[in-house]
């Protein structure tokens, strides 16, 4: 039995999945907006203000704000910061590697997703940062595509890890996969059972059923996975100072396949590219 094998998965009904899609879509639209707002000279707090206003204007509530005392609507993690960076006066510069994690509640249901990008785009980026961002996003989609009713939830982490090992071989490096933070069940609360390791673990693991909703969120570094929390009690940074990327989606398992609730297109394009079944729920 694995560490988390006793955890329960609470399946969602069709109606509940439709409600979660509303929350997920608002998160997707917020992140899409923020991507266009990122530029050198802006602070991470500037982005946070944009996010909070957009979420509230569109019928949502930020779910990170006030969570265990967190002061942001989004998490902004720059360079060697892996996750949970607090928006503040930090001024972004060209070439910074920024991860934005965003969550919202609509009608009592939660969405949670994260993207990583380089400020100033490819022209301003170090090649290794672009490779890291791409490898991490690809590993997320590999993990999502391994989610299947009747199979172990642990197939997700195995697929994430295999994807990163393969990308590392191609990119000529060994990517660090952070194991101290994991994905999670999500629904009426942001963090629910089961935990979703973003790496290979032994044991059977919980069995995925139709109606399962989980947030999958690989955190990957250019160096080692060892990390520490800064004195602000939130920001997680790499011990070796290497840069890190973080990608996340909230995903539903349906009768027809998968529905990526926090992707603008529901995951249709990326799932199709990877040969996984795109299966949105219809009202």
Comparing CB distances to Mg ion, the nearer of 122 and 189 is 189
Question: Which distant-in-sequence residues (6+ apart) come within 8 Å of 159 by Cβ?
Answer: 139, 142, 143, 145, 146
Comparing CB distances to Mg ion, the nearer of 125 and 177 is 177
Comparing CB distances to Mg ion, the nearer of 215 and 276 is 215
Comparing CB distances to Mg ion, the nearer of 157 and 171 is 157
Kindly state the number of chain residues that form the binding site for Mg ion, as judged by CB under 5 A: 5
Binding to Mg ion (CB under 5 A): which residues in 191-250?
215, 248
Name the maximum alpha-carbon separation found in the chain: 50
16, 101, 129, 161: residue in contact with Mg ion (rule CB under 5 A): 101
Question: What sign has the CA pseudo-torsion 175, 96, 101, 142?
Answer: negative
Least distance to Mg ion, CB of residue 183, Å: 6
List the x/- string, 102-121, binding to Mg ion by CB under 5 A: ----------x-x-------
Tokens describing residue 147: 């989610």
Comparing CB distances to Mg ion, the nearer of 92 and 216 is 216
223 forms beta bridges with none
- Phi, psi torsion values for 97, nearest 5 degrees: -95, 115
Least distance to Mg ion, CB of residue 101, Å: 4
Least distance to Mg ion, CB of residue 153, Å: 15
Question: What sign has the CA pseudo-torsion 153, 182, 167, 271?
Answer: positive
Least distance to Mg ion, CB of residue 75, Å: 7
83 touching Mg ion, by CB under 5 A: no
Least distance to Mg ion, CB of residue 41, Å: 26
Alpha-carbon span 217 to 157, nearest angstrom: 10
Question: Which distant-in-sequence residues (6+ apart) come within 8 Å of 43 by Cβ?
Answer: 87, 88, 89, 90, 91, 92
Residues at the contact surface with Mg ion, assessed by CB under 5 A: 101, 112, 114, 215, 248
């Amino acid at each position: 039995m694995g560490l988390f094998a006793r955890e329960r998965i609470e399946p969602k009904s069709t109606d509940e999945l439709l409600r979660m899609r509303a929350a997920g879509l608002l998160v997707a639209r917020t992140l899409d907006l923020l991507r266009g707002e990122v530029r050198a000279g802006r602070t991470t707090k500037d982005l946070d203000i944009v996010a909070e206003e957009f979420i509230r204007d569109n019928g949502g509530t930020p779910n990170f704000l006030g969570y265990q005392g967190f002061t942001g609507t989004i998490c902004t993690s720059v360079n060697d910061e892996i996750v949970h960076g607090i928006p503040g006066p930090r001024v972004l510069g060209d070439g910074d590697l920024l991860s934005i994690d965003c969550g919202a509640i609509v009608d009592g249901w939660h969405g949670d997703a994260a993207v990583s990008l380089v400020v100033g785009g490819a022209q301003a980026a170090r090649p290794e940062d672009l490779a890291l961002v791409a490898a991490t996003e690809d590993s997320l989609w590999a993990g999502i595509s391994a989610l299947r009713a009747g199979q172990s939830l642990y197939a997700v982490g195995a697929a994430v890890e295999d994807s990163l090992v393969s990308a590392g071989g191609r990119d000529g490096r060994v990517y660090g996969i952070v194991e101290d933070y994991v994905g999670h069940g999500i629904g009426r609360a942001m963090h629910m059972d089961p935990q979703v390791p973003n790496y290979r673990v032994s044991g059977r693991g919980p069995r995925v059923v139709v109606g399962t909703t989980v947030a999958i969120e690989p955190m990957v570094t250019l160096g080692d996975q060892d990390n520490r929390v800064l004195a602000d009690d939130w920001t997680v940074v790499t011990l070796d100072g290497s840069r890190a990327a973080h990608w996340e989606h909230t995903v539903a398992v349906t009768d027809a396949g998968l529905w990526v609730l926090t992707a603008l297109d529901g995951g249709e394009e990326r799932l199709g590219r990877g040969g996984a079944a795109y299966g949105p729920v219809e009202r």
